[in-house]
Amino acid sequence: MDRRGFINRFGRGGALGALAIMSGILISRRQVTLQTECSDNAQCRACNKLKRCELPEAKIARDHGEEG
């Protein structure tokens, strides 16, 4: 391998690495966070998100046997 080939491969590898890092940063910033308020203004028993909801009201509704 000559110097030109080495620099070419090193440049492509660096660009690919930078692209992967930037993609990872942009994806990680869009992660879903736990909501503190319900997005639906309905009662828990009528909500279609009841099974996976982590709000205290939903946990109480699940404990009482209400299914969404």
**Number of folded domains that form the chain:** 2
pLDDT digits (tens, 9 = 90+) for 2-39: 999 999 999 999 999 999 999 888 877 765 445 556 66
Residues 38 and 68 in one domain: yes
- 60 in Cβ contact with 53 (< 8 Å): no
Q: Quick one: 26 and 47 in the same domain?
A: no
Residue ranges making up the domain that contains 41 = 34-68
Pair (4, 19) in one structural domain? yes
Is 1 in the same domain as 17? yes
Cβ proximity of 16 and 38 under 8 Å: no
Where residue 65 falls (left for φ over 0; alpha for ψ -120 to 50; beta otherwise) is left
pTM over 0.75: no
Residues 49-60: pLDDT tens digits?
777 787 788 788
